[in-house]
């Protein structure tokens, strides 16, 4: 999600957009408290997170070293190792208010930052573009780094740019971000195209041919239904939760989840507090005063540095949760959303898309090291090991394989 400048939002939404949580001081037990069963399952499973905004830190934050354990933010190699996170999609995100060639240029800078992080940490990270790459990385005890472009505005209305991104290793594209683009409507903007335009449908077809997963997080409901109608391959919601629990437009309705399941896709549950908790969402949307003023000051202070904005928002929203200005949201809400999505869409269609380093994490899910708590909670809920493995990453691998097979079939024509 992230910060203030990227949205043409009213102030209440700002609180909904913040924050990588500061690790210290949160409620909930440390990940070390999970059962031996959960630890073993976490270690054995291929755990994939389809949305992480750590890329902004790679590009902007000169103090950030992904190889070291950092006192802030949610993601670095030590904490990924500790949490058993085997693969992550680094988000290539440029605010949707930035368009045209500047958006392309910035997207290329972010792609370069990910590729450079991989190049300079060869013992820990490996660039992955296929399901087989992820399986190989796991067997070599490396973390698979993948990339997703978060917002179709970054192709500058040009399929050649989409092809360039694919050639550089991008494996999903979110059709919109917070604003509509020239060919697709966003869930957080006024409808302008009634979903996807004809060119928007061509974008989806070209993504199918290139083996780039269609991501429907952020898009309007109509854009979602258009996308699943056009796409010949399963689609994902890379970071969305259940609207039946928290009525945020960024979340998916039960009907959308059923359509997604029919398409073979996966909803990757987002840990952003306003997507998890209706009480938090309502309170943050009503909020005016301190938090909003602080966020505005933060925006000014950080200028164009998105990593700074994220960390500052994190601090402000975490403080608001801890001092009671905003309702506390527990990490267990993530499990409620997973469970709801499994009941509606089926266990083959649910996964994890944390929004780490780009959202307000619930208390007790302060960083990637705490992921085994989710596995432990699912075991306690009665989920089988096989079903938990699907949720942790198996479903995403299956979608990737289907997307790859569709691309091969379309290119063979």
Binding site for Zn ion (CB under 5 A): 1
C-alpha dihedral, 388 to 389 to 390 to 395, nearest 10°: 140
Residue closer to Zn ion by CB (options 214, 378) is 214
Give dist(CA 244, CA 321) in Å, integer: 23
Which one, 142 or 250, has the nearer CB to Zn ion?
250
State the nearest-atom distance from the C-beta of 209 to Zn ion, in Å.
25
Q: How far is the CB of 328 from Zn ion (least distance, A)?
A: 23
The structure tokens listed for 230 are 């056009």
Q: How far is the CB of 239 from Zn ion (least distance, A)?
A: 6
Nearest residue (CB) to Zn ion, 275 versus 383 = 275
User: N- to C-terminal Cα distance for the chain?
Assistant: 39
Residue closer to Zn ion by CB (options 1, 92) is 1
Q: For residues 1 and 196, which CB has a smaller minimum distance to Zn ion in the complex?
A: 1
Q: What's the closest the beta carbon of residue 218 comes to Zn ion, in angstroms?
A: 6
| Strands in 286-348 per DSSP E | none
Q: How far is the CB of 198 from Zn ion (least distance, A)?
A: 26
With vertex at residue 197, the alpha carbon angle to CA 196 and CA 201, rounded to the nearest 5 degrees, is 70
Separation of CA 216 from chain center:
11
| Complex with Zn ion: residue 1 or 400, whichever CB lies closer | 1
d(CA 189, CA 185): 7
CB burial string 45-66: b at 16+ within 10 A, e below:
bbbbbbbbbbbbbbbbbeebeb
Q: How far is the CB of 250 from Zn ion (least distance, A)?
A: 8
Q: Where in 208-364 does DSSP place strands (E)? A: 213-215, 236-237, 266-269, 350-352
Q: Which is nearer to Zn ion, 42 or 223 (CB)?
A: 223
**Helical spans, DSSP H, in 28-158:** 36-44, 55-60, 77-83, 100-120, 131-139
Minimum distance from residue 368 beta carbon to Zn ion (Å): 18
Rounded to a whole number of angstroms, the minimum distance from the CB of residue 320 to Zn ion is: 21
Nearer CB in complex with Zn ion: 1/26? 1
Nearest distance from C-beta of residue 17 to Zn ion, angstroms: 9
Give the CB-nearest residue to Zn ion.
Answer: 1
Alpha carbon distance 52, 384 (integer Å)? 27
Question: HSE (CB half, 13 Å, CA atoms) of 210?
Answer: 25
Output 1 or 75, the one with its CB closest to Zn ion. Answer: 1
Read off φ and ψ for residue 388, nearest 5 degrees: -65, -40
Contact between 155 and 161 under an 8 Å Cβ cutoff? The reply is: yes
Residue closer to Zn ion (CB basis): 1 or 58: 1
Q: How far is the CB of 396 from Zn ion (least distance, A)?
A: 17
- Report the nearest approach of Zn ion to the CB of residue 16 (Å): 11
Answer whether 219's CB lies under 8 Å from 184's CB. yes
Residue closer to Zn ion (CB basis): 42 or 310? 310
How far is residue 393's CA from residue 128's CA, in Å, rounded to a whole number? 14
Structure tokens at 201: 């449908």
Q: Give the CA distances from residue 368 to residues 20, 309, 379, in Å, rounded to whole numbers and listed in that order.
A: 11, 20, 19
For residues 331 and 74, the answer to whether their CB atoms sit within 8 Å is no
- Among residues 211, 276, 288, the alpha carbon closest in space to that of 245 is found at 276
CA distance 228 to 10: 30
Could you tell me the CA-to-CA distances from 154 to 45, 93, 104 in Å, in that order? 34, 8, 5
């Amino acid at each position: 999600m992230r910060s203030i400048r990227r949205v043409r939002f009213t102030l209440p939404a700002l609180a909904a957009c913040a924050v990588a949580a500061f690790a210290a001081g949160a409620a909930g037990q440390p990940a070390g408290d999970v059962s031996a069963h959960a630890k073993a399952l976490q270690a054995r499973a291929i755990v994939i997170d389809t949305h992480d905004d750590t890329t902004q830190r790679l590009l902007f934050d000169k103090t950030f070293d992904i190889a070291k354990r950092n006192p802030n933010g949610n993601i670095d190699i030590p904490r990924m190792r500790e949490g058993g996170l085997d693969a992550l999609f680094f988000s290539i995100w440029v605010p949707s208010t930035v368009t045209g060639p500047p958006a392309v240029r910035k997207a290329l800078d972010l792609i370069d930052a990910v590729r450079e992080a991989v190049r300079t940490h060869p013992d820990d990270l490996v660039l992955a573009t296929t399901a087989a790459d992820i399986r190989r990385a796991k067997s070599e005890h490396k973390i698979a780094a993948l990339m997703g472009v978060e917002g179709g505005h970054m192709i500058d209305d040009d399929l050649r740019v989409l092809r360039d991104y694919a050639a550089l290793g991008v494996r999903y594209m979110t059709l919109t971000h917070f604003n509509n683009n020239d060919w697709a409507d966003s869930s957080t903007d006024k409808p302008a195209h009634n979903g996807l335009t004809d060119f928007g449908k061509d974008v989806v077809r070209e993504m199918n041919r290139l083996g780039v997963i269609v991501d429907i997080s952020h898009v309007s409901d109509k854009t979602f239904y258009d996308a699943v109608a056009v796409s010949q391959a399963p689609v994902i919601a890379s970071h969305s939760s259940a609207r039946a629990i928290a009525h945020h437009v960024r979340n998916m309705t039960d009907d959308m989840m059923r359509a997604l399941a029919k398409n073979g896709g996966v909803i990757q549950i987002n840990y952003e507090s306003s997507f998890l908790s209706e009480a938090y969402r309502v309170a943050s949307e009503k909020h005016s005063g301190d938090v909003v003023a602080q966020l505005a000051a933060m925006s000014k202070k950080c200028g164009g540095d998105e990593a700074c904005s994220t960390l500052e928002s994190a601090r402000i929203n975490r403080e608001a949760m801890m001092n009671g200005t905003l309702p506390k949201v527990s990490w267990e809400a993530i499990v409620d959303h997973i469970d709801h999505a499994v009941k509606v869409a089926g266990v083959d269609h649910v996964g994890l898309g944390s929004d780490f380093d780009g959202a307000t994490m619930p208390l007790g899910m302060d960083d990637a090291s705490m992921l085994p708590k989710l596995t432990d909670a699912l075991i306690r809920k009665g989920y089988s090991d096989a079903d938990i493995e699907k949720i942790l990453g198996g479903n995403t691998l299956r979608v990737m394989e289907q997307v790859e097979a569709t691309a091969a079939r379309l290119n063979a024509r």
